[in-house]
């Protein structure tokens, strides 16, 4: 059995943990990343950890859109995990055109290369695709609801949904083995706060006794998911052929409001920070729009792999703050 896999965007936060998991299970890992949001420290960590093992780590600093290079690497692998994408609210708002083009072009290049050699592919989608849906629990085949095209926030959701359409079309038309995973706020140690990620930002502010800046009312809620549990779910999904052609939520157990998240972090860190609310217009501008609630149904995930992420927000925060 060929135990070589390729991870696009593997120098990023999730890529670090996913590469580590596959390497620990005896796989060789090829990582393609242009380091636009990835971090070379993640590559160095992996190389150091597996220095004296038989596991091979190859890092290619390149855009995924370089088709010839991508094709040559995919040809040698048994599995492709496509994580590369525009990352974070800040990136989407600051560079909307680049973000849209990057998402669509990179996914097309990966799919075309995988099609040539019939390589299974995991596509990392996002809970963003559900948009402004008011459902209490998001189900994979439920409707999606978007806001005005003047709100740049929805450009990211739209391109990721279009990516999903493209991935599933390759499954239907070319019988390419594909799995679409919709990730719900994946968090953990070593996540950067540079791109608008809320937990690392709050933790950094709390540790430094700075004001914790909550955007909007703070009543909006999210479901956070431990990165190691997300990676385990991806590994299990890709090991089962019944996952092919499916769209699957990968998310945690319970939603929490952002204001209560801030309070938990203040308490856990014993911080002197004050919680300060900032209107969205001041934080981002009038082109931003948020959604009130986001919580996944994980029934389908459990049926496929007999497992779902189990850690609650208190357990996740303790891992981030104290480990």
Residues forming the active site: 156
Q: Give the separation between CA 205 and CA 223, rounded to whole angstroms.
A: 21
Q: What phi and psi, each to the nearest 5 degrees, are found at residue 249?
A: -70, 135
Q: Give the separation between CA 185 and CA 295, rounded to whole angstroms.
A: 10
CB 215 within 8 A of CB 176: no
Q: Give the separation between CA 186 and CA 13, rounded to whole angstroms.
A: 9
Q: Give the separation between CA 86 and CA 216, rounded to whole angstroms.
A: 23
Place of tokens 């740049």: 152
Length of the chain: 323
Q: How far is CA 124 from the centre of its chain?
A: 6
Q: Give the separation between CA 240 and CA 134, rounded to whole angstroms.
A: 32
């Amino acid at each position: 059995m060929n135990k070589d896999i390729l991870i696009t965007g593997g120098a990023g936060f999730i890529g670090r943990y996913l590469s580590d998991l596959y390497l620990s299970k005896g796989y060789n890992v090829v990582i393609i990343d242009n380091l636009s949001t990835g971090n070379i420290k993640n590559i160095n960590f992996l190389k150091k950890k597996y220095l004296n093992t038989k596991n091979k780590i190859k890092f290619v600093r390149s855009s995924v859109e370089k088709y010839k290079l991508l094709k040559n690497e995919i040809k040698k692998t048994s599995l492709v995990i496509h994580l590369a994408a525009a990352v974070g609210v800040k990136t989407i708002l600051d560079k909307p055109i680049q973000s849209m083009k990057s998402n669509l072009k990179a996914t097309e290049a990966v799919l075309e290369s995988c099609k040539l050699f019939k390589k299974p592919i995991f596509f990392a989608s996002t809970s963003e695709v559900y948009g402004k849906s008011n459902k209490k629990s998001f189900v994979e085949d439920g409707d999606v609801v978007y806001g005005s095209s003047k709100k740049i926030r929805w450009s990211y959701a739209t391109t990721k949904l279009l990516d999903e359409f493209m991935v599933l079309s390759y499954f239907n038309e070319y019988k390419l083995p594909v799995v679409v995973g919709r990730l719900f706020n994946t968090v953990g140690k070593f996540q950067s706060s540079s791109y608008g990620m809320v937990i690392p930002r709050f933790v950094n502010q709390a540790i430094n006794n700075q004001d914790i800046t909550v955007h909007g009312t703070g009543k909006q809620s999210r479901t956070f998911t431990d990165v190691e549990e997300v990676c385990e779910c991806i590994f299990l999904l890709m090991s089962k052929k019944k996952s092919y052609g499916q769209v699957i939520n990968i998310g945690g157990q319970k939603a929490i409001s952002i204001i209560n998240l801030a309070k938990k972090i203040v308490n856990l860190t014993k911080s002197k920070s004050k919680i300060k609310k900032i209107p969205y217009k001041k934080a981002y501008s009038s082109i931003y729009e948020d959604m009130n609630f986001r919580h996944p149904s994980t029934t389908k995930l459990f049926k496929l792999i007999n497992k779902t992420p189990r850690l609650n927000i208190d357990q996740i925060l303790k891992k981030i703050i104290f480990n």
